[in-house]
Amino acid sequence: MSQSCLDCARRSDRVFCDLEPDALQEFDGIKSFQTYPRGSVLFREGETAHSVFLVCQGRVRLTVCSESGRRMTLRIVPAGEVLGLSAALSGGRYEVTAEVMEAVETAEIPRKELLQFLREHREVCMQVVNQLSEDLHVAYDRVRAVGLTRMRHTPMHGAAH
């Protein structure tokens, strides 16, 4: 795959990447192209959100972790999606851990540059809102699956300890 967004053949299929020429040019200037082998961690839950990662190729697993170290998969993210968006926008910490399942190619954008970019290109801001809405739908589905399945298995009495 091309390291430049400008001549990327897959761009038109990807919701986030299908940008207007001037926005694309600028996006290409602020992103850094990276490859990561299977098993690498793009970011960990609890770390201050420093960047977002656009997955150009490969798949990434998002997990959440309990204090005691138990881990649960939230979802598997395919190419074309942006990771770490909500944490970067709210200026908080990553809510999940992103681990590479299949070697990935990513476009990494530091948080500050992303915020500046979004201020200058309002049409992209709408794309971000769209992606966040999709992420939220998936997260709610997960809450439904996890929360209500467990409830059904919780006995009515004496389930506390």
Partner 1 sequence: MLSPYGLDIIESCLTCKMRAERLFCDLPTAALQSFESIKYATAYPKGAVLFVEGQAPRGIFVLCKGRIKLSICASDGKTLILKIAEPGEVLGLSAAVSGKAYELTAETIDPCQVNFVKREDFLRFLKEHSDACFKVAEQLSEKYNVACHEVRSLGLSHSAAEKLAKLLIEWSSKNGESLKQEPRLKLSLTHEEIAQMIGTSRETVTRLFADLKKRQILQAKGSTLVIRNKAALRTLATTG
Taking residue 24's Cβ as centre, other Cβ atoms within 10 Å add up to: 19
Check binding of 26 to partner 1 (CB under 8 A): no
Total residues at interface with partner 1 (CB under 8 A): 51
Nearest-CA neighbor of 4 among 36, 34, 28?
28
Q: Which is nearer to partner 1, 13 or 120 (CB)?
A: 120
Instruction: Give, as ranges, the residues between 36 and 65 that touch partner 1 (CB under 8 A).
Output: 64-65
Dist CA 137 CA 144 (whole Å):
11
Q: Which is nearer to partner 1, 89 or 100 (CB)?
A: 89
Least distance (Å) between residue 44 CB and partner 1: 14
Non-local CB neighbours of 74 within 8 Å, separated by 6+ positions: 62, 63, 64, 96, 138, 139, 142
Across the strands, what pairs with 60? 77, 100
Nearest-CA neighbor of 135 among 75, 93, 59, 49?
75
| C-alpha distance from residue 40 to each of 1, 4, 48, 98, 105 (Å) | 20, 23, 18, 9, 12
Check binding of 78 to partner 1 (CB under 8 A): no
Q: Which x/- pattern over 120-139 shows residues binding partner 1 (rule: CB under 8 A)?
A: --xx-xx-xxx-xxxxxx-x
Instruction: Give, as ranges, the residues between 80 and 119 that touch partner 1 (CB under 8 A).
Output: 85-87, 89-90, 92, 95-96, 118-119
| Binding residues for partner 1 (CB under 8 A) | 64-68, 70-72, 74, 85-87, 89-90, 92, 95-96, 118-119, 122-123, 125-126, 128-130, 132-137, 139-144, 146-148, 150-152, 154, 156-161
